[in-house]
Chain A
């Protein structure tokens, strides 16, 4: 068995606190994490860095989460890239919109760290 390479997760959120918490939680669970503060930064990063999962907030300046998801899905290389949305409450309409845009799944804020890890594992291993 070859040694397993760490999976790389990109967290996209304009809230620094959120990014810190997601990074901390996932790094502790053995993932590599890269950060972006808005959709635009995320697009730039993903052009040069291979990631195994994108976790994105929806409300962000410059480029919001739904737009990011659509743009990512439009790129052939990322048609099957796992993308999770961060939503608050059981916002059904947002979930539906996200799914329509191509999101893989969602995590509800505020998130329980264990839940975050289990969802991430469920979606990208």
Chain B
């Protein structure tokens, strides 16, 4: 059985998929409208898990799965009615099964009593409390003797003599050899097997030759074929069997009756089989009477008389030594046989499983290719255009192909968010039950695709946000009725691509954020100065501060101190942002924005002083040189610029980053108008815009540390390191006067570089008071 352990991982992977299918089906199951196809799918899922589990000896799992399967069988046969109680029990059973699988995968034992309650519940629906039927133990392995192909000649060898005798109108020579004649040798047992199959045997695909061969593997055998029932050629039906046999077998005493019966396993019921055994003397000798061999009636015998001239060897052989080992041709083909690369001429599904490592390597290589291509482009930039036209065109073509290759590779890792969204109905059901609320979950945009690693990291934040919405956001059914809202609250989960990022929203129609409560809590915790004026939006964002929870009682669900700040940190670590919009009495909307691709970015290279930065192309609206008339200064605030009919805050990057010898006057440099995901705009003052380039994203956090306003870093074509700017972060920094340069307009002292840069002014104040 050790050979099969390599399939354990396949089994666990497949079982995980099957559990998900079963769960989804069970969640949709409701009394009244039962989709039998789904019930069958659930049954098959449990059945498969049970089957595979048995193969690896996971006995507890198999026993439990059997109970589960039996109930599912009852449901699909319409013997067990579908009630809410049943569905709950089945969902619980699915969970227990998952737990048992996890233990099996870890090679640990499930704690005693894990399955007791659920099994009792399942049996309740079966209406009985007996012990389950025992799994039939697999029969002991048969000993295999080498099938000597050459001996085939021996089987039919004497056919010639029989045919000759028939032609000569002589009785066929009586075939009697050392096996069937004489006393039984010491240490052996002689079996006499008379096999009279029914005529239709062949029509069920059974083939007597193979059965006879199987008998011959058990010992030395002599086989006599009886032709008494053979009709004339005219009356012969080729698909019917007209023959019978007597086999005399000399075998070791270890060969028992069961093994002989086993040869006829599939046909015993329909055929006349008589088996007698003879031990060596002094037991009473009863010679079996061979049936008289009828003379052959025609030259074309479908199955000539069959004594074996050479005895099969009785030495047990190893399984691997068997059929065809002697054949060189087979030996050569063998090389392909055992491995996974076998020749699949049958239909297979149109997918392929690939190790994630291979994909990661591929992504890395494509990334390096992008850098190399950029470096080449850089070197060729200074060439006089006329002379190297073809080279430049070729390079342009290469850049195009690289872009396409990059997109294809990234899409390999892209997965639809449905894999995360599909876990939410279950969560909603549990949360609703635990809080006594009625909740309806609506999802949209499940097919939106995101890089695999991002998808996996979405589960926790989404779970927490949904729990939050249900626990704190939504009102109970009675209260909602009083307010004129529908009894069931709605949680809307959506995903969409927007300006090169993926935006996920969790919206509820509950009571919204209680701003008064939040503000007072923040003041209480010293996070906010009393009397500070804050916009509604700023108050809402207080919930993202560490340790913040306004729940008066820690509810079972979400008030465990794992606050929205953890959620925000999770999202940030993926390079994303989270925001909240709330309307009291109407509900709240959380917006997560995450990057689509983690590796490569289309960017615009800009210069500020001697430094180079990269701005994501998706954030750029336009770049322009403002006229003095467009610029305005707001007292004690900041500079603004008139652009496209609205005032836009100006951010001098050199001030923000403390870069010397850069252009300060916007009218002498350039302003790049950028936009964040939520549409707010900034004008970044830079020296020059150097050009568009595809850059490979290298994590700054992994190699250095996280910096505000900086999303990542990259290596430009000329080998210089450039920081990729995070536009939303820049907006935050400019608003709150943060930055790495001189103090901002509101006079707040910027932190020294050795401290982690503050994300917002509140942390800053906290640090100052400490």
Contact = CB atoms under 8 A, between A and B. Distances in A.
Interface of A: 1, 3-4, 6, 10, 14-18, 20-21, 23-25, 27-37, 41, 44-45, 49, 59-61, 73, 79-83, 88-90, 99, 102-106, 108-115, 117-119, 121-125
Contact of A4 (B1, B7, B210, B327): B327
A109 B51 contact: yes
Given A27-B337, A59-B44, A6 B330 contact: yes
Q: Interface of chain A, helix or strand or loop or mixed?
A: mixed
A112 B139 contact: yes
B465 interface: no
Given A60-B44, A122-B263, A110 B322 contact: no
A63 to B, nearest CB: 13
B136 A3 contact: no
B331 to A, nearest CB: 10
Contact of A114 (B10, B141, B147, B205): B141
Contact of B210 (A34, A89, A124): A124
B174 interface: no
B142 A114 contact: yes
Contacts of A117: 144, 319
Q: Interface of chain B, helix or strand or loop or mixed?
A: helix
A94 to B, nearest CB: 12
7 contacts: A82-B207, A99-B269, A105-B265, A112-B1, A115-B138, A118-B144, A124-B207
Contacts of A109: 51, 54-55
B144 A114 contact: yes
A6 B324 contact: yes
B138 A21 contact: no
Interface residues of B, number: 69
Contacts of B346: 10, 34-36, 41, 45, 49
Contacts of B191: none
B138 A110 contact: yes
B349 interface: yes
B7 A17 contact: yes
Interface in B1-50: 1, 3-4, 6-7, 10-11, 14, 40-41, 43-44, 47-48, 50
A40 B655 CA distance: 70
Contact of A27 (B4, B133, B269, B342): B342
Contacts of A105: 206, 265-266
B324 A113 contact: no
A20 B320 contact: no
Enumerate the 10 nearest inter-chain pairs by beta-carbon distance, A residue then B residue, closest first. A34-B346, A110-B54, A105-B266, A104-B205, A114-B141, A82-B205, A110-B55, A15-B48, A27-B337, A112-B138
Given A24-B7, A73-B203, A123-B206, 14 more contacts: A1-B152, A17-B52, A18-B52, A29-B322, A29-B323, A30-B334, A35-B346, A61-B41, A82-B206, A99-B269, A108-B136, A110-B138, A115-B142, A117-B319
Contacts of B343: 32
A27 B329 CA distance: 15
Contact of B14 (A17, A31, A73): A17
Given A33-B342, A114-B141, A114-B142, A88 B51 contact: yes
